[in-house]
Amino acid sequence: MIGTSKKEYWFIRVCIVGLHHIAPLCIAYCVLLVCIYGFKATTYRFPLLVETGAILEALFYFAVYVPHNRYIQRETAHPPAPAREERKQLFALCNDNITNCEGYLRKWFLGAEIEEIKRENVKEFLLWAFFNRGGLPGDDDDELEEYVSATEKLLGRPIQEGRGSAKPLRLTLDGVDMLHRSLIWYFCVGFVDLLTFIKLRYHGFHFHRTSFSRFFSIWPLRPYSYLTSQHSPAKHTTYWHRAHTSKTKLPVVFLHGIGIGLYPYTNFLSELNSSQGLETSNPNDQVGIIAIEIMPVSFRITHAALSREALCAEITSIVRKHFGDQKFVLSSHSYGTVISTHLLAYPPLAEQIGPVVLIDPVSIMLHLPDVAYNFTRRQPVHANEFQLYYFASMDSGVAHTLARHFFWNENILWKKDLIFHKTTVSLGGQDLIVNTEAVGQYLSEPISGFESRYAASASSSRTLIDIDKSTEIDSGLRNRGNDTPAESDDEQGEEEWKNRPWRGDGIDVLWFSGLDHAQVFDKPATRRRLINCIRAYCEDTD
């Protein structure tokens, strides 16, 4: 992620204007040629390469973009709504973690005045959020009234009857907003993909491809990937792998975020794989790494995002192929933390997951409007916001994934889901997507009694004693234990958690005050803090 300086602002604006207007200019040029020269337009006036490119860009727009845009606007098939008791528990968890109800409502209603958010508007939002549908309340009206009444208590005043002009953000019901990408852009993506292939191969990773029959299922094409003889056991999911030979350490599974694939993480992965990281001089004591590729959020034209169950099943087959039933460290960044949330609740693989490292997590406190609003609805002002808006939010694959396959109540991650795992969460103080202050504050507090009871009722294989023990560990992290001097009142203020040393038990927070989303991967010093955590977890086989 770039910064917010004026130079970066003008740089990103020029890049966006240039890339976005390639197709319109090419179409206008082709139309002008036909209008002026008729059939003689087939004889070129500019160099052949230029006119060929213009024709290809025009054809790509009408033959690919236009039908693709229509295709991804189709309505999604929402998962079944949770049972009533599950909805009530989820609603209570959300309400228990809202500090500014008016700001919460206004942001979910796209900045509308609070007077325009009336009872029927709130019900419309709640139907999407907790019932996975739109339409009229119908038989669910009594339950909705309970939720509206609870919201009124949180708000501190009654919500007016009727319907106002406010429109809620309902991600999977609203239209899919996307912008055209030129052929030149996809050639750039293909070139970066080639650089990723070369760099990871140089650092000892092996690419595992899907079958030849799926060669044309992704654009830009990846011909160099078929130079490998390694096959993925999954139908859709490709990945990079480094063999695990250690008998005393845990291997690592890494899930990337929205972006141009694994390229922004190549330094991170190679340093994990270096003599200063997890590698030793003994070839029989090497730590294995699997880096999963999530193509629908990697600026490609490819298959739609897989369902939660399908993707978990494919990742499970990959992990079992290389690591068997051995425990592993699960590390993920941004959108990858959503997939981590699914894996933590996926019985065939959940028991194998050991320590967890979540970097710039979008899944924690997902009931707050910040992630959905900042990624999909915010009008960009600064350079980093324009970069996020054009290159990520408006990409067709990303937009389709978020608008048609991102069901927040499946993707949200609570502390109760982490209490059986040693966990490190990395947060940037300048994150333009995640409300990191709210996330850090939530993680730094002991698990609430309600959430502890919810965890106990949701887990049949764990005991309440285990939960209480984990709660004590989390509380011990908050108070820094009995082996350190008592802290002053100032040190125990709400900012104390930002400077808390990493301990490696319970839930740890790494706070990078000056970093934006994904910038932790940019510099060796900040990457090293993450690598040190993962290295310590790999050494810990308890």
What whole-number distance in Å separates Cα of residue 166 and Cα of residue 279?
A: 56
Residue type present at position 238: T
- In this predicted structure, the answer to whether residue 277 has a pLDDT above a threshold of 60 is no
The predicted-structure confidence for 91-129, as pLDDT tens digits, reads as follows 999 999 999 999 999 999 999 999 999 999 999 999 999
Least confident of 25-34, 235-244, 334-343, 461-470: 461-470
- In this predicted structure, the answer to whether residue 494 has a pLDDT above a threshold of 80 is no
The predicted-structure confidence for 51-102, as pLDDT tens digits, reads as follows 888 989 999 999 999 999 999 999 999 999 999 999 999 999 999 999 999 9
Q: What is the mean pLDDT of the chain?
A: 89
- In this predicted structure, the answer to whether residue 487 has a pLDDT above a threshold of 60 is no
Residue 245: the pLDDT is 87
Residue 221: the pLDDT is 94
Confirm whether 142 is domain-assigned: yes
Residue 36: the pLDDT is 80
The pLDDT of 142-161, averaged and rounded, is 96
Examine the fold and report which residue of 101, 134, 155 is the final residue of a domain before the chain moves on. Answer: 155
Residue 482: the pLDDT is 34
pLDDT bin (cut points 50, 70, 90) of residue 455 is low
Question: In this predicted model, which residue has the larger pLDDT, 529 or 478?
Answer: 529
Distances (CA, A) of 398 to 57, 63, 518, 523: 22, 20, 17, 26
Confirm whether 64 is domain-assigned: no
Confirm whether 390 is domain-assigned: yes
Residue 322: the pLDDT is 96
Residue 495: the pLDDT is 80
- In this predicted structure, the answer to whether residue 278 has a pLDDT above a threshold of 60 is no
Residues 120 and 257 in one domain: no
Q: To the nearest whole percent, how much of the chain has pLDDT over 90?
A: 78
Examine the fold and report which residue of 155, 180, 200 is the final residue of a domain before the chain moves on. Answer: 155
Confirm whether 263 is domain-assigned: yes
SS3 for 363?
coil
CA nearest to 452, candidates 121, 5, 92: 92
What whole-number distance in Å separates Cα of residue 319 and Cα of residue 313?
A: 10
Residue 489: the pLDDT is 44
Residues 271 and 393 in one domain: yes
pLDDT bin (cut points 50, 70, 90) of residue 286 is confident
| CA torsion, ordered 375, 377, 381, 387, to nearest 10 deg | 40
Residues 434 and 310 in one domain: yes
- Output phi, psi for 154, to 5 deg: -70, -35
Residues 265 and 117 in one domain: no
Residues 139 and 257 in one domain: no
Confirm whether 206 is domain-assigned: no
The answer to whether the beta carbons of residues 541 and 327 sit under 8 Å apart is yes
Residue 446: the pLDDT is 83
The predicted-structure confidence for 184-196, as pLDDT tens digits, reads as follows 999 999 999 999 9
pLDDT bin (cut points 50, 70, 90) of residue 130 is very high
Confirm whether 60 is domain-assigned: no
Residues 256 and 151 in one domain: no
Distances (CA, A) of 446 to 458, 505, 511: 19, 14, 18
Q: Is the dihedral of CA 437, 391, 523, 506 positive or negative?
A: positive
- In this predicted structure, the answer to whether residue 323 has a pLDDT above a threshold of 60 is yes
Residues 377 and 505 in one domain: yes
Residues 352 and 464 in one domain: yes
What size, in residues, is the chain?
Answer: 542
Structure tokens that stand for 73 in this block: 């606007």
Residues with Cβ within 8 Å of residue 86, at least 6 apart in sequence: none
- In this predicted structure, the answer to whether residue 463 has a pLDDT above a threshold of 70 is no
pLDDT bin (cut points 50, 70, 90) of residue 40 is low
CATH label of the domain that carries residue 298: 3.40.50.1820
Residue 74: the pLDDT is 93
List the domain range (segments joined by +) for residue 358. 250-279+286-482+495-539
pLDDT bin (cut points 50, 70, 90) of residue 280 is low
The pLDDT of 131-136, averaged and rounded, is 95
The predicted-structure confidence for 354-404, as pLDDT tens digits, reads as follows 999 999 999 999 999 999 999 999 999 999 999 999 999 999 999 999 999
What 8-state DSSP symbol labels residue 359?
A: E
Residue 484: the pLDDT is 35
Residues 308 and 439 in one domain: yes
Residues 255 and 123 in one domain: no
Residue 279: the pLDDT is 52
Confirm whether 49 is domain-assigned: no
Examine the fold and report which residue of 113, 135, 155 is the final residue of a domain before the chain moves on. Answer: 155
Residues with Cβ within 8 Å of residue 71, at least 6 apart in sequence: none
Residues 403 and 254 in one domain: yes
The predicted-structure confidence for 207-258, as pLDDT tens digits, reads as follows 999 998 999 999 999 998 888 889 999 999 999 999 998 888 999 999 999 9
pLDDT bin (cut points 50, 70, 90) of residue 491 is very low
Give the predicted TM-score (pTM) of the model: 0.90
- In this predicted structure, the answer to whether residue 481 has a pLDDT above a threshold of 60 is no
The predicted-structure confidence for 382-393, as pLDDT tens digits, reads as follows 999 999 999 999
pLDDT bin (cut points 50, 70, 90) of residue 527 is very high
**231 beta partners:** 209
Residue 336: the pLDDT is 98
Residues 513 and 396 in one domain: yes
Confirm whether 530 is domain-assigned: yes
Residue 476: the pLDDT is 34
How many independent structural domains does the chain possess? 2
